[in-house]
A and B are shown apart, each in its own frame.
Chain A
Amino acid sequence: MPVVATNGRSPYGGETIFGNVMLTRTVVAVAALALTTLAGCGSSSDATASSGAPAAGSTSTSASSAAPAAALTVRDPWVKAADSGMTAAFATLVNNTGADVTVEAATSPASPMELHTMTMKDGAMVMEPKEGGFVIKAGGSHELSPGGDHLMLMKPSAPIKAGDELSFTLKLTGGGTVDFTAVAKPFAGAQESYAPGHS
């Protein structure tokens, strides 16, 4: 699997929503830009993707090498802070390739994880495991957001405090993985949309 690391300009990096739209248009540009940014910043506290293949240091990969362009970029990841109980992680998943990419599973040292989606049941939106995972269309992007698809932290082992940084790994069909770090934010929006399923 290809490798990319992104680092934006905020403490957590991440490009913009505008950026996403723009970037997904040109695969090569995406990889090039991501790498340039990383080189400029030197550290990657945010979304980093690593390959299931031989440990490819993200900085050492370049768009012009034999390696294919990055498969999946995780933009603007964050987690809803929670003193107790389950919570969720969100991000924009950007597919930089010409083929569909499927996220099959997610893992985190912080909690057992499930991939969730929202569905209408008895007149209410509830969440449930996403059958077949999240499919990100070739050259497309997939929004994980409150009230929509999300990465569920089923049973965090410790309170997740505002400003904590949590690491996650996405498992892709075909064996690749994508690592990223997400910051915890206090958040109270879109609660009713997914709370009922678990209350």
Chain B
Amino acid sequence: MEKLKVLIADDELGMRKGTAKVLDKYLVALPGMEEPVGFDISEASNGLIAKEMLETDHFDLILLDYKMPELSGLEVLDCIRDSQIDILTIMITAYASLEVAVSATKNGAFDFLAKPFSPEELKSVVEKASRHLVAHRQAKRLSEEKRKVRFQFISVLAHELKSPLAAVDSYLQLLKKHVAGEELSKYDHIVERSLVRLDGMRRMILDLLDLTRIESGQKKRELTQIEISAIALKAIETYKVIAHERNIDISLHSETPVHFYADAGEMEIIFNNLISNAVKYNRDKGRVDIYISTDDKHLYLSVSDTGIGMTPEEKEKLFGEFVRIKNEDTHKILGSGLGLSIMKKIVSFYNGKIDVESQRNVGTVFKVVLTRLTEDENK
């Protein structure tokens, strides 16, 4: 069981023992904690001792008597503030004087308790302080986790941007030193590779901008009634040439028109990503089939291909940022690994979900379900 460390600083022995007795057996159930929290009690018989204990040991909570010999409660409070000790203070005053309470809270006390107090009053103040403490810690933990994720993201990003730069750099070195002699056509292939890597880099930066705009909420969402199959057709048009080069057939199966309340840009991103992947990870002479349907609650999209597919282990990793699956079939295909992360984020705006069914060397089906939102819900 987790215990909060409490220091009772009071020159009256009776007060210390009475308070300790109440808190010793007291358990508080707190939100977000599986088990109730108990208290581990220490005592200080004057302000000076309290100060020394605070300096050598860590406490979560201090019940601090206002009037003590050697060092008063307010002076101890000053020490806590000056040394930036991470502790919550409950000031105990002999008379419920407003003045003392105000100056104590001004100096960083969390709450105060007026003597004499009942066990119930004590418990209630301590419970409130514990809640605050635990919530504060959870928030701190969460922000640290966020920082870590962010840091990870940035280091992967740096790596992903460095690798095309390094490639283009070394190709240019070959050119600069005329390694293959003076005949320009000898360099065609490395120039082509440089352009391909630069294009990949450009796309990655665009994807990254999309992702950050969407995640930060900077991108203005314009929700209107739109016709979904028109957007699908537009996306198909974009990838038709690449598909045609590899004899890949793209068909749209849709009851037209399909109306849905959404942001047109977001729907384009979904279709572009799904269709682009279905073509990229397909085989020559393969197929891509796009299905669109609706009912009064949902919009259903599915994009299936006859491509390289994925193993169950590969499928698990799919939606991570910058995740690209490495195998014999994929290593020549370029991508940022951000497309599906962006899609996942967008789908979450529509309380939706994405399912993937895939079989290695057979093909993949991405199924997206979006929930119809009323105009009110979207605000």
A, B from the same assembly: no
List chain A positions with a Cβ less than 8 A from chain B: none
List chain B positions with a Cβ less than 8 A from chain A: none
